[in-house]
Amino acid sequence: MFKGFEHTGIASPDPERLAQWYVDCLGCTINFRYDANVFVRAPDGTMLEIIPAEGERAPQTMKDPGLRHLAIEVDDFEAAYQKLKALGVHFYTEPANLKGNLIVFFADADGNYLHLIRREKPLR
């Protein structure tokens, strides 16, 4: 009956700018637009819908209630990390190895928390 999460929504003051960041930095493609909403698709087929934000963003930390980060799976952690560094991406943490899993937290163009990860053994 239920097949999975078709997309995740993110509200942005500038959906086009944020969508382009996902294209430029994470290799996504813009695959659908309607009104001011923009859908981006990752190479694995997962999608984000970026919608116009209303109002001001409240301060946030990594452990505030609600959605906290999007995890971005990579095959080559070091190459992905270096690419993001070269693009001037802001990192919240330094890369770490936690029980064989390589991780680092970083920000998208709006400051949303993202999590680069290369698992030693996939959860699937």
Instruction: Decide if 1-53 and 68-124 have a common fold.
Output: yes
| Helix, strand, or coil (residue 73) | strand
> Per-residue pLDDT for 65 more than 80?
no
Q: Can you give the residue ranges of every domain in the chain?
A: 1-53, 68-124
Q: Under CATH, which architecture does the 68-124 domain have?
A: Roll (3.10)
101-108: Cβ within 8 A, 24+ apart: 102/77, 105/62, 105/69, 108/18, 108/21, 108/22, 108/25
> Per-residue pLDDT for 3 more than 90?
no
Q: Which amino acid is at 62?
A: M
Tell me which DSSP letter residue 75 carries.
S
- What is the structure's pLDDT at 102? 97
| Helix, strand, or coil (residue 38) | strand
- Number of Cβ within a 10 Å radius of residue 114: 21
Alpha-carbon dihedral sign for residues 67, 89, 45, 98: negative
- The model's pLDDT over 73-119, given as tens digits with 9 standing for 90+, comes to 999 999 999 999 999 999 999 999 999 999 999 999 999 999 999 99
> Per-residue pLDDT for 122 more than 90?
no
| CA–CA dist 89, 112 (Å, integer) | 12
Residue % of the chain over a pLDDT of 90 = 79
Least confident of 13-17, 67-71, 105-109: 67-71
Average pLDDT over residues 31-51: 96
CATH 3.10.180.10 describes domain 1-53: yes
- What is the structure's pLDDT at 112? 94
- What is the structure's pLDDT at 93? 96
65-69: Cβ within 8 A, 24+ apart: 67/8, 68/113, 69/105, 69/112, 69/113, 69/114, 69/115
